[in-house]
Structure 1
């Protein structure tokens, strides 16, 4: 019994030690978008802007002055971070904040003094109409988009990206609804980063974003993850 008690005390001590380490681990700065813009402007030429997405994504659209920083191993992290100045501010973005937050934590743990994740990621940056270096066209005009909404059915528009984990997770749900409710629902999928002007005009600042129209009027909008049951409930409420 005594041995069990000692073992229990050891386990509790290890748990408290790990909890303390987690609480004291360096975290990236979390700012509002306005605070971020001010900080980026203040950093000027000292700003080190990192794009944590895939090279293909970077080529399509990226912030001016950014470098692609797609990390696939600890060795790659060490190699690429050696090119940076640990004493100068670092700004990191991805589609949202998933990959950028992971990279930010790794850099903080490796001695970088000032690391900031772009609030809302590239989705919000583009949705707010901020400039990007781009190799893709403007995409659909708003007029063409509005024309595509004309239907005697409800129209569900899915703004997403093939690179967005949350969007890919939602895809089976949208495809299922499209098949199951074909008689009363029209589904339109929009690749957000190939339609930057449209995203800006509609104020889509996060992916995925779903917009439900009835007679060309928005009746429901949802940013981020959503269950099939929730979408079905909204659709049912519009078809009564």
Structure 2
């Protein structure tokens, strides 16, 4: 009886240990740096299985070299495409941030793919870091053109985002509302990130959306992600107060 209990306990410990090791492996995959992701990707070379989890329109505009387009939300298309991939080879997935790519990663793992790497920070991080992409668009505004665009005697709020980005869409009406409150003392400039890739590199933009508040051509506030109207108004008031105190 004691031997049986001992055997059951040994088996249970083994199972728990295996689960822990798998969790550690998954954690490692999820915490890759951009440099580590890029290194693994290029190590595979032409054999790399790279999947773009964004829409076909986004893919056609800009994508990683060698990537294929695969929308995880379309089950029929997913099953059609997934049979072409090799389960014993690493797969590299990405989307704008990590929303759609994370969903695709989980779907691939559920279908037996044991080694799936997600681009940390998403495609916006890749583009903003100046990495190579296949593109059908120009580089857009130069840094000099941008500097002329934000030139103003008033505060300037720059909204850098994308029409494809969910968080950017949530931020857009908030920025519009703030602009409506400051018709005479605030200039708002909106930049489509993926149509101005070099500018994203020059401004060191690696996440969408990004808000930048300028006063006299100098950055007084910058924030990634969706900001509330109250937060933006607070930063505008702070910049105006500091400016008035210097006069």
Q: TM-score, normalised by structure 1?
A: 0.87
Aligned equivalent of 2:97? 96
> What is the aligned partner in structure 2 of residue 207 from structure 1?
208
* Structure 2 unaligned spans of 5+: 1-18, 242-247
Establish whether residue 152 from structure 1 lines up as the match of residue 153 from structure 2: yes
- What is the aligned-residue RMSD (CA, Å)? 1.6
For 2:75 and 2:56, the matched residues in 1 are separated by 18
Aligned-residue offset at 1:46: 2.3
Moved more, 220-229 or 156-165: 220-229
Match of residue 3 from structure 2:
none
TM-score, length basis structure 2: 0.85
The answer to whether the 8 A contact 1:46-1:89 is kept is no
Q: CA deviation at 1:71?
A: 2.9
- State the match for 1:236 in structure 2: 237
Find the residue that maps to 1:239 and give its secondary structure.
helix
Q: Do the aligned residues in 1 keep the contact of 2:72 with 2:100 (CA within 8 Å)? A: no
Deviation at 1:33, TM superposition (A): 1.0
Q: Do 1:212 and 1:218's aligned partners in 2 also have CA atoms closer than 8 Å?
A: yes
- How far 1:99 sits from its partner (Å)? 0.2
How many angstroms apart in 1 are the aligned matches of 2:197 and 2:143? 11
Tell me, in whole angstroms, the C-alpha distance in 2 between the residues paired with 1:60 and 1:75: 24
Write the distance in 2 (CA, Å) between the matches of 1:27 and 1:172.
37
Give distance in 2, aligned partners of 1:192 and 1:73.
26
Q: What residue in structure 2 maps to residue 83 of structure 1?
A: 84
8 Å contact kept, 2:128–2:205 = yes
Aligned counterparts, 1:1-240, within 5 A: 29-30=29-30, 31-240=32-241
Query: Residue 88 and residue 130 in structure 1: after superposition, are their counterparts in 2 closer, same or farther (change >3 A)?
Result: same
**Structure 1 stretches lacking a partner, 5+ long:** 1-19
CA distances 1:177-220 after superposition (whole Å, capped 9, x unpaired)? 11111121110000000001111111100100011100000111
Tell me if the contact between 1:27 and 1:105 (Cα under 8 Å) persists in the aligned partners.
no
How big is each residue's C-alpha offset from its partner over 1:52-82, in whole Å with a ceiling of 9 and x where there is no partner? 0111100110011000111333332222111
